[in-house]
Amino acid sequence: VQLVESGGGSVQAGGSLRLSCDVSGDTSLTNSMAWFRQAPGKEREGVASTYTRGRKSLYADSVKGRFTISINSARNLLTLQMNNLKPEDTAMYYCASSRFVPYDDDWFIEGQYNGWGQGTQVTVSS
């Protein structure tokens, strides 16, 4: 599976951005897709994950109510709508794919994901 992110940029606090991830290749074994992010000097963390075969999405507490993950299987497109952005959302955002079904206690574990994009930068100024 090949993943290419786009849509990052600079925005003021309170603004919105929409990230996209174009998916290509053999996705027949893909059961979940997710967004992770990594801020300078910090570890990469899970932002949101979605089950590709059903209506199940999971979010980090820090983004609940502000971010929405969605997948368009027909178009092979994963998106992350980010509203009410905060300076602490500043990070490189990565798209990831997995063969595992996401659950509450493991969707955010990097090792669950075997496909990664190159990332897109999001910068939120105060």
* DSSP assignment string, 76-105: TEEEEEE-S--GGG-EEEEEEEESSPP-TT
Q: What integer pLDDT is reported at residue 77 of this predicted model? A: 95
74: pLDDT strictly greater than 90: no
Q: Which pLDDT does position 54 carry in this prediction?
A: 84
| pLDDT surpassing 80 at residue 75 | no
Mean confidence (pLDDT) of the chain? 95
Buried b / exposed e over 91-100, threshold 16 CB at 10 Å, is: bbbbbbbbeb
